[in-house]
Structure 1
Amino acid sequence: MARPGVYQQVLLSDLQLRPLAEEDLPSVLDIERQGYSHPWSEAVFLDCFKDSYRLWAASHGDRLAGYAVVAYMAGEAHLLNLCVHPLARGQGVGRYLLKHLLATAAHEGMSQLLLEVRISNRPAIDLYRREGFHEIGQRPGYYPAPDGREDALVMVRTLSR
């Protein structure tokens, strides 16, 4: 069990970015449950370990600080999940992961990165806007919510090769 405050002094220079491995799933599922009201299941994560997906881990020492899941299809990247451990939030971990997956997708020839984000998730929307994303639409009732369904903003950023 993580000690309280273990992530309070995360330095980006101490973070290691690497491909997410199946052995990371217990930590991923723990973070997922803490981060979302309707978390992905282990089966959903396992289904993402395919050639057309990129799964990234941001680790601080031997602890997972965050992860991202991106699908590649028809020359476009689609960010499906980006989550940071609650104790590591607000320290740049999410931005660090996002910048890495943007650079990797561009390097691998993707033309743009598309994502959906809960309309209520202001910190994520603000991050995406600061990183050059713009809104291209909404998906009504896209996300399950405690009181029914919640709309998603659809955002995109063009990638330069």
Structure 2
Amino acid sequence: MGNVVETIMNIEFFPFEQFPMAALLEIESACHPFPWTEAVLSGCQGQGYDFVVAAIKGKPIGYYITHRVLDEATLMNICVHPNHQGKGYGGQLLQNALERLKRHSITHCFLEVRASNKGAGALYQKLGFLLIDKRKGYYRTNGEREDALVMSLQLQ
């Protein structure tokens, strides 16, 4: 597999174009109760976007998407296939994203996380993200809507 962006431990990072969209949609569907569509994922390319896939031995296990505007960025999506969760790969993905943002001179990174996603919230806090706001009813659920916690990290 060509065009490796970076390697950390046993994970290699690639531009998303290196993989079939079907493989990325499979990860998305396995990770989210209301997954993004192919059109939404495909729309996350071009100027200001980083769509990076993490793979082990050439098999995608997760990805992240960031969007940069001026000196700020938003972590739009990050996920690790459930078969690979709990092994530190999410932290490695996030670290890779933050390092790439720093190389683009980004000073602040923002994200939203479901209030019920305690694991992700703990990871973000561990890496220095601070809770700055709450968006009531932001996420769809099977019944009621769920709040989003808005978090921010100063990078430089």
Unpaired runs of 5+ in structure 1? 1-11
Query: Displacement of 1:111 after TM fit?
Result: 0.9
Counterpart CA distance in 2 for 1:19 and 1:97 is 13
Residue identity opposite 1:20 in structure 2: F
Counterpart CA distance in 1 for 2:109 and 2:14 is 20
Residue identity opposite 2:33 in structure 1: S
| Residue 117 (structure 2) pairs with residue 117 (structure 1) | no
Q: Tell me the TM-score normalised to structure 2 length.
A: 0.92
Counterpart CA distance in 1 for 2:49 and 2:136 is 26
Counterpart CA distance in 2 for 1:18 and 1:39 is 22
| Higher RCO (CA-CA < 8 Å; seq separation 6+) | 1
Residue identity opposite 1:60 in structure 2: I
Task: Say if 1:22 and 1:46, in contact at 8 Å, map to a contact too.
Answer: no
| Residue 86 (structure 2) pairs with residue 78 (structure 1) | no
What is the total number of aligned residue pairs between the two structures?
149
Query: Displacement of 1:22 after TM fit?
Result: 6.5
Residue identity opposite 1:136 in structure 2: I
CA-to-aligned-CA distance 1:21-62 (integer Å, 9 cap, x gap): 163311110011111110000000111111110011110112
CA-to-aligned-CA distance 1:67-111 (integer Å, 9 cap, x gap): 001011131010010000101001111100100110110111111
Identity across aligned pairs (percent)? 35
Which residues in structure 2 correspond to 1:139-150 (within 5 Å)?
Answer: 139-150=135-146
CA RMSD of aligned residues (A): 1.1
Q: Which residue of 1 aligns with 2:34?
A: 38
Q: Tell me the TM-score normalised to structure 1 length.
A: 0.89
Q: Which residue of 2 aligns with 1:99?
A: 95
Unpaired runs of 5+ in structure 2? 1-7
Counterpart CA distance in 1 for 2:110 and 2:127 is 13
| Residue 84 (structure 2) pairs with residue 88 (structure 1) | yes
Give every structure 1 segment of 4 or more consecutive aligned residues whose post-TM-superposition deviation is greater than 6 Å.
none
